[in-house]
Structure 1
Amino acid sequence: MESVSSGADRSGILSRQQQGAKRERQARQLLQTSGLRFVAANVRYRTGEIDLIMRDRQVWVFVEVRYRRDARFGGAAASVTRSKQQKLLRAAALWLSSRGQSFDTADCRFDVVAITGEQVEWLPNAFTAE
């Protein structure tokens, strides 16, 4: 019987999870170099996930990190749909609530770090809670 490769040993090729982790580290480094302070990563709720939570002085920064190999289907920034934004907003509301805060009581913003190929684009305040 012929063996079937599980794909686990594809030298030099990163899995989706490995690629995501690599790009999140890349985004975190960019943001920290720009003066933001790291708070948390990969915060998961049933309603959605927050890739990175950073602090920019007194402002909570919820960051969505998106990666696309190329711009064939619009690039990484274009992949942050309204549906994805809503999931991030719900997760951020839960995270703030767990700290006794809300969008009404805490200064916060939603950034996107879009990586298309090797081009990195940081979009501060990419969308709002309204």
Structure 2
Amino acid sequence: MAFPGKSGAARAGTTTKAAGDAAEDRALAHLRAHGLQLLARNYRTPGRGGGEIDLVMREPDGTVVFVEVRGRASGAYGGAAASIGFAKQRRIVFAARHYLMRLASMPPCRFDVIAMEKEKGGVQWLRAAFDAS
């Protein structure tokens, strides 16, 4: 039976936070299996109105990869990857710029998306899913 006003995660007996953490764990394992190294998890900019990056990774060639992880129960409404709209992309780019200001030199960078849909199973890794412009 469905519960009005409750997300799919809440109906299943888990919190949205727990479901998100599990998706990030799975994404992190997938990226590590492909040779990427974790630099930061849930990197946030200080203050209000900033952004958050789920995973900051480094490719073996030194490229810094800012990863947004999205999980959805189904592909309805465009699916997990399509749920990252322009405003969310701008917040991720803002947080990435903040992260990069701490570094001594500017490395090559890109923005990836890890999308997971329960009905499809598996992990979809979208490299260079969007850019900073």
* TM-score, reference length from structure 2: 0.83
Q: Secondary structure in 2 aligned to 1:53? A: strand
Q: Higher helix proportion, which one?
A: 2
SS of equivalent to 1:74: helix
Amino acid at match of 1:110: F
Runs of 4+ in structure 1 deviating by more than 6 angstroms, as ranges, are none
Q: Secondary structure at the match of 1:73?
A: helix
What runs of 5+ residues in structure 2 fail to find an aligned partner? 1-9
Please give the alpha-carbon distance, in whole angstroms, between the structure 1 residues aligned to 2:125 and 2:75.
16
2:97 to 93, 112, 124: 93
- Once the two structures are superposed, residues 65-119 of structure 1 have per-residue CA deviations (whole angstroms, 9 ceiling, x without a partner) of 0111111111100001111111000000001102244xxx320000000111124
**Identity of aligned pairs, percent?**
40
- Aligned-pair RMSD on alpha carbons? 1.7
- The whole-number CA distance in structure 1 between the counterparts of 2:59 and 2:79 is 27
Residue identity matched to 2:129? A
1:53 equivalent in alignment to 2:47: no
TM-score (structure 1 length as normaliser) = 0.84
The code of the aligned residue for 2:128 comes to: N
Given candidates 115, 120, 123, the residue that maps to 2:126 is 123
Query: How many residues in Structure 1 have an aligned counterpart in Structure 2?
Result: 118
Q: Which has the higher strand share?
A: 1
List runs of 5+ in structure 1 lacking aligned partners: 1-9
**In structure 2, what is the equivalent of residue 4 of structure 1?**
none
